[in-house]
Amino acid sequence: MLQTKLIWYDAPICPVPAAAAVEHFRLPALRPLGWVLVSLGWFWGPYANLMQHMTTAHRQHYAEAEL
């Protein structure tokens, strides 16, 4: 007897384990202000370094006498 071994026949069972995993590994809920503060803390360092580099390059470029 022939059997189909196509992977998409298993697709209907995937949402159930995914929902169970989400419930099991749920992170502690943060209020929106908490998410904003976490995001600012995470991205502030690279952003500040980039802005400092761009400002320094801009000032050096326009500080030359021949310009």
1 inside domain: no
What is the pTM for the complete model shown?
Answer: 0.41
Q: Quick check: 13 and 5 in contact, CB under 8 A? A: no
2 inside domain: no
Q: Express each pLDDT in 11-39 by its tens digit.
A: 666 777 777 776 666 666 667 788 788 88
Give, in order, the Cα–Cα distances in Å from 11 to each of 19, 40, 67. 14, 38, 65
Amino acid code (one letter) for 15: P
25 inside domain: yes
Higher pLDDT, 1 or 40: 40
Q: Express each pLDDT in 46-67 by its tens digit.
A: 899 999 999 988 888 777 666 5
32 inside domain: yes
